[in-house]
Amino acid sequence: MKRLLLAFTITALLSACATTTSPTGRRQVVGGVSQAQLDQLGAQAFAETKQKEKISTDARQIAYVQCVVNALVAQLPSQYRGVRWETAVFADNEPNAFALPGGKVGVNSGIFTVAKNQDQLAAVIGHEIGHVIARHHEERITRQMGAQTGLSVVGALAGAAYGETAASAVNQFGGMGAQTLFLLPGSRTQESEADVVGQKLMAEAGFDPAQAVNLWQNMMAASGGRSPQWLSTHPDPANRIRELQRDAPALQGVFQQAQAAGRKPRCS
């Protein structure tokens, strides 16, 4: 009976998944969780982070980050524009940032030591939002769900696949921890894709895409030529810079059109 239940559960789980195409044309397997469940998990991870980390009270920095986020969000597909995006600045010297499903953006104050202007900050945040709109979190969870072998774990995940509430999904995934699910770096493929998506997004929002190159050059200079710890699973820094340099000229037209249309962010 247990073997039959396990086989049925795995079949149900796989049938809930779907193959789709990412913004860059890459094949993805998603569908392990619903959008409502994904948003709830993102909200939980964000709440956990705010409880554990010291939140900055610097009103200028908070407004600066919110301004950049607002400009980027205005260019997102409609399902993401309709979300009320919440931001938080954390008093942490590590130059880091993240974005989560459900419209959550976190930025460490240390990012301002390497993001020297609004365009460079948009490169960082655009990259992180790129993970969200490219469905990388959903892709990662779906992959992790498929890798589970224990009957109790698979049974719980199948319950989520059958449409239980987002709150139930949070409880089911609670053993993994929302922060673990969402805040660990993605694969190098996902990181490279987020670079492409984020650089295009910043250009559409009226930020200079060439500044993405300067941002990562600043990042490497600040770390003494070594990749910072939070970039350990990202593409090779030199390759990343070359790819951003390669794509920037083609995006200058997008940037100029955005500026001509009145999209001229004034955040700094």
**In 3D, which of 180, 157, 155 has the Cα closest to residue 52?**
180
Strands 86-90 and 104-108: parallel
DSSP secondary structure letter of residue 93: S
**In 3D, which of 142, 145, 238, 136 has the Cα closest to residue 185?**
136
φ/ψ region of 167 (left if φ > 0, alpha if ψ in -120 to 50, else beta) reads: alpha
Per-residue CA distances from 134 to 20, 193, 194, 237 (Å): 11, 8, 7, 21
**In 3D, which of 136, 171, 151, 186 has the Cα closest to residue 32?**
136
**Residue 48 annotated in active site:** no
Contact criterion met (CB below 8 Å) for 122 and 107: no
Contact criterion met (CB below 8 Å) for 124 and 207: no
Q: Round to whole Å and give the CA distance between 22 and 16.
A: 18
φ/ψ region of 225 (left if φ > 0, alpha if ψ in -120 to 50, else beta) reads: left
Question: Of the listed 48, 53, 86, 128, which one is catalytic?
Answer: 128
* 79 Cβ contact partners less than 8 Å away, ≥ 6 residues apart: none
Q: Which residues are catalytic?
A: 128
